[in-house]
Copies of this chain bind each other. A is one copy, B any other.
Amino acid sequence: MRRYANSTSFKRSNCAVACTLDLIGDKWTLLIIRDMFFGKTRYKEFQDSEEGIPTNILTNRLRKLESAGLVAKSPYQKNPVRYEYRLTEAGRSLGPILKSIINWAGEYIPGVRRPKASQTRTTG
């Protein structure tokens, strides 16, 4: 088992919370991860999610996630080469975070739609 989630990004401190936020603490990243948990793998699928992520941000976040080791891409066709994006083990292990968020929202945000319990989907 490789332990990572590394690199390029500057660390504000060594605190577990701060480090995690440096990786996934923004408006969009966790939504992409949510989509992956629920079976989406392709650029277009992420783009089509109802929140409407801008394409430049989607591209940027997929690369950050890849270089952090949370997501891996592999070609699903050639001519032209197209990639699908899937959670790595480190990425999948974010499941409990997602789950606790969904639970919290279900309790404290009125009228929220909770996705049907996190399913750990990895190989289509």
Within the oligomer, what is the number of copies of this chain? 2
Cβ-defined contact, A94 with B98, below 8 A: no
Which of A25-33, A39-47, A76-84 lies at the interface? A25-33
Q: Which residues on B sit within 8 Å (CB–CB) of A8?
A: none
Q: Bin chain A's interface residue count.
A: 35 or more
Cβ-defined contact, B21 with A27, below 8 A: yes
Other contacts beyond A6-B109, A15-B112, A18-B31: 4, CB < 8 A: A6-B110, A13-B50, A16-B106, A97-B97
A and B contact pairs by CB, cutoff 8 A, 27 listed:
A3-B108, A5-B109, A6-B109, A12-B50, A13-B50, A13-B51, A14-B112, A15-B51, A15-B112, A15-B115, A16-B105, A16-B112, A16-B114, A17-B105, A18-B31, A19-B109, A20-B101, A20-B105, A20-B109, A23-B109, A25-B25, A93-B107, A93-B108, A96-B100, A96-B104, A97-B101, A100-B100
